[in-house]
Amino acid sequence: AKDAGRNGIQFYNKAMDARARTRLALEYEIRRGLENGEFEAFYQPRVDCLTGEIVGAEALARWRHPERGLLFPDSFIPVCEESGVIRELDRQILAQVASQLANWEAQGRLLQVSVNLSASQFGDPALPDVLQQILQASNCRAAAIELEITESLLLAHDQNTLDTLASLRTMGFAIAIDDFGTGYSNLAYLQNYPLNTLKIDRSFISGLPQSSAIPQLITSLCRILSLNMVAEGVETHAQLDWLRQQGCQQYQGYLCSRPVSLAHFNELLHYSP
């Protein structure tokens, strides 16, 4: 029994070892991919619930891997977060978005695009400067960019986070809370932070129109606090009808489109009302 136990542990260690090696290899590949410009912003339309017009988009990272094809965030974001490479990835996605926003504006198309910012960015006091450099290099207005952050960041009640958010707002960026409702329900932070938008998590939208208690609550909350409300993961007309009746302003979801390449998004824009 003792031997079996020892073998069990040895086996476990070997498996751990293999996992660590795979992870390290992936991290190396991601760094190389970032140097080669293999990461690309895809765009999921953000749509006006009433008019159906595309008013903007959310930028979502994709990896055009030279051998494995198009890869989705679940296969690289966790390793990016663990290794800290996420800062460089977020910076590259933001730079692509900023230069594209300037292009659209030059064509007379005013859009707002949101980008996902990892919580670890907020530990970096250089964040406002990094963002300022991106704006200057691209000639993009800060107000055309919305920064998506998660609830967990605000629940920490950290003075540095509050200061960073305040300076980002002063610079003109809009701030959105992503996946709203999935964190702990301490709503006090909604009053204490300078926010523009709540994005209701897809898990609450999927039950509509039957399970509507929480979406209804969040709609009222947004109205009372004068926050813009975006519903995520809208897939059916019944869901959209419900949201429209409740006064939700905007939605994203497969009902309009999956996240698509820039070229494809430009086509969608062309046909948008």
The 8 Å CB, 24+ separation contacts for 64-68 are 64/38, 64/39, 64/40, 65/33, 65/38, 66/38
CA distances to 28, 32, 63, 134, 213 from 36, rounded to whole Å, are 12, 6, 11, 19, 47
* Local structure of 269: helix, strand or coil: helix
Q: Considering the complex, what minimum distance in angstroms separates the CB of residue 117 from ligand C2E? A: 6
Give the interface segment with ligand C2E, choosing from 85-93, 97-105, 213-221, 222-230 (CB under 6 A): 85-93
* 249: contact with ligand C2E by CB under 6 A: no
DSSP state of 77: H
CA angle 89, 34, 85 (to 5 degrees): 45
72 binds ligand C2E (CB under 6 A): yes
Binding site for Ca ion (CB under 5 A): 116, 148, 178-179, 232
Of residues 104-163, those binding ligand C2E (CB under 6 A): 116, 118
Q: Are the CB atoms for 230 and 256 separated by under 8 Å?
A: no
At closest approach, how far in Å is the CB of 6 from Ca ion?
42
Is 235 among the residues that bind ligand C2E (CB under 6 A)?
Answer: yes
Residue 212, SS3 per DSSP: coil
Angle between helices 159-171 and 127-138 (to 10 degrees): 20
Q: How many residues bind ligand C2E (CB under 6 A)?
A: 22
Q: Looking at 10-18, 89-97, 162-170, 237-245, which segment touches ligand C2E (CB under 6 A)?
A: 89-97
Q: What is the nearest approach in angstroms of ligand C2E to the Cβ of residue 121?
A: 8
Residue 179 interacts with ligand C2E (CB under 6 A)? yes
Token pair, residue 118, equals 């990892």
Alpha-carbon span 100 to 138, nearest angstrom: 8
Whichever of 183 and 223 has its CB closer to ligand C2E, that residue is 183
12 binds, among Ca ion, ligand C2E, none (CB under 5 to 8 A by kind): none
| Contacts with ligand C2E, residue ranges (CB under 6 A) | 44, 60-61, 72-73, 77, 86, 89-90, 93, 116, 118, 178-179, 202, 233-235, 252-254, 259
